[in-house]
């Protein structure tokens, strides 16, 4: 069991995992397109040094307002299969 803990691959994987975990709030803020990303990076750098500050940075990254609100997707209107009959007057109109 001690062999895997002394392996350089295990140590590199552990350091990589901790590095990704440390910058996770910044990655979330970038993915969300948060406004004033510089402040969030600063909060992440300062708060990552403590165990209690990292959740604060994570919550700030999730709750920080976006640069542009997410657009609501709506499909384009589909044409009527029998053409546009709103302007025609038929015998039953």
Mean of all residue pLDDT scores within the chain: 79
Contacts of 39 (CB under 8 A, 6+ apart): none
Predicted model pTM: 0.61
User: Do residues 61 and 25 touch, judged by C-beta distance below 8 A?
Assistant: yes
Query: For 40-73, what is each residue's pLDDT tens digit?
Result: 888 888 887 777 888 888 888 888 887 766 667 6
Given this model, what pLDDT does residue 16 score? 93
Instruction: State the pLDDT at residue 15.
Output: 92
Number of H helices, E strands in the chain: 5, 0
Which ranges of 1-93 would DSSP assign to H, the alpha helix? 2-5, 8-22, 24-32, 37-47, 53-63
Write down how long the chain is.
Answer: 93
Nearest of 31, 35, 26 to residue 67 by alpha carbon: 35
Question: With bands split at pLDDT 50, 70 and 90, how would you rate the model's confidence at 80?
Answer: low
Reduce the DSSP state of residue 83 to 3 states and report it: coil
pLDDT at 17: 93
């Amino acid at each position: 069991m001690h062999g895997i803990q002394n392996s350089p691959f295990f140590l590199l994987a552990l350091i990589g995992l901790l590095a990704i975990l440390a910058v996770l709030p910044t990655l979330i803020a970038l993915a969300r397109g948060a406004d004033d990303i510089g402040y969030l990076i600063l909060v992440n750098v300062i708060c990552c040094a403590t165990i209690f500050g990292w959740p604060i940075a994570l919550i700030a990254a999730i709750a920080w307002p976006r640069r542009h609100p997410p657009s609501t997707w709506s499909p384009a209107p589909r044409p009527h299969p029998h053409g546009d009959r709103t302007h025609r007057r038929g015998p039953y109109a």
